[in-house]
């Protein structure tokens, strides 16, 4: 075994624990996931877990931070692929809905996370995500595309609509059929913010 720096090994154990926790939380839910089991899955014990993350909630927080960062990156990519600012804004919402189709995101980010850690809009990365959406709306207001509403309020409502759409889709018998209906309704609803009638 090559002698590596200690910091590297710490990062590796943290990564292993987070990965095991992601799959365990997604599969069984936060409450039903045993820390003995998931640490064993990672080839470690609970000692490593408490040393690195403090407690079970700390581990969940780390998992959520990681997923949230991934979601933020994917939303930015979706926005970048649009021609106009308004389409980019819509793409963000649609990307959010599509990501929420994934059971892992559903279970961890939309169900257990809020229940254990409280209102998601207070989470560090979520605020970053929300801030970019708010800024996008503000720009659309400034250039006359969108009516002069409170940008943050609009961003939160749009987010909520997308989130609920995602939950609906995931619980549906035919998710992809419902997805198209939800996306269509989402575009109509968002058009309410437009200065010109949709």
CA distance linking residue 105 with residue 68, whole number of Å: 9
Query: Would you give the binding string for DNA spanning residues 3-42, x where CB under 7 A is met?
Result: x-xxx-xx--x-------------------xxxxx-x---
Please name the residue that has the structure tokens 């998601």.
120
Does 176 contact DNA by CB under 7 A? no
Residues that bind a copy of itself in the complex, under the rule CB under 8 A: 29-31, 110-112, 114-116, 118-122, 147, 149-150, 152-154, 156-165, 167-168, 170-171, 178, 181-182, 184-186, 188-194, 196-198
Are the CB atoms for 76 and 70 separated by under 8 Å? Answer: no
φ, ψ (nearest 5 deg) of residue 194: -65, 145
Q: Write the DSSP symbol of residue 172.
A: S
Pick the piece of the chain touching DNA (CB under 7 A) from 51-59, 66-74, 120-128, 153-161: 51-59
As a 3-state breakdown, the chain gives helix, strand, coil percent values, each rounded to 5, of 80, 0, 20
- Interface with DNA (CB under 7 A), residue from 21, 22, 26, 56: 56
Specify the residue, 52 or 164, whose C-beta has the smaller distance to DNA.
52
Q: Are 193 and 145 in contact (CB under 8 A)?
A: no
Residue ranges binding DNA (CB under 7 A): 3, 5-7, 9-10, 13, 33-37, 39, 43-48, 50-52, 55-57
């Amino acid at each position: 075994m090559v002698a590596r720096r200690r910091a590297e090994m710490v990062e590796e154990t943290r990564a292993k624990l987070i990965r095991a926790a992601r799959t365990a939380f997604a599969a069984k839910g936060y409450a039903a996931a045993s820390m003995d089991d998931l640490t064993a899955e990672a080839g470690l014990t609970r000692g490593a877990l408490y040393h690195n993350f403090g407690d079970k909630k700390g581990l969940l927080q780390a998992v959520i931070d990681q997923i949230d960062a991934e979601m933020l990156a994917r939303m930015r990519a979706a926005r970048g692929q649009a021609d106009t600012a308004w389409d980019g804004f819509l793409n963000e919402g649609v990307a959010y809905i599509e990501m929420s189709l994934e059971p892992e995101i559903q279970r961890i980010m939309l169900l257990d996370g809020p229940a254990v850690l409280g209102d998601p809009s207070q989470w560090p990365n979520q605020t970053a995500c929300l801030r970019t959406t708010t800024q996008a709306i503000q720009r659309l207001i400034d250039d006359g595309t969108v009516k002069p509403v409170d940008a943050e309020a609009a961003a939160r409502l749009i987010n909520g609509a997308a989130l609920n759409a995602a939950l609906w889709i995931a619980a549906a018998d035919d998710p992809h059929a419902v997805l198209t209906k939800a996306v269509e309704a989402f575009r109509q609803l968002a058009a309410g913010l437009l200065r010109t009638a949709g």
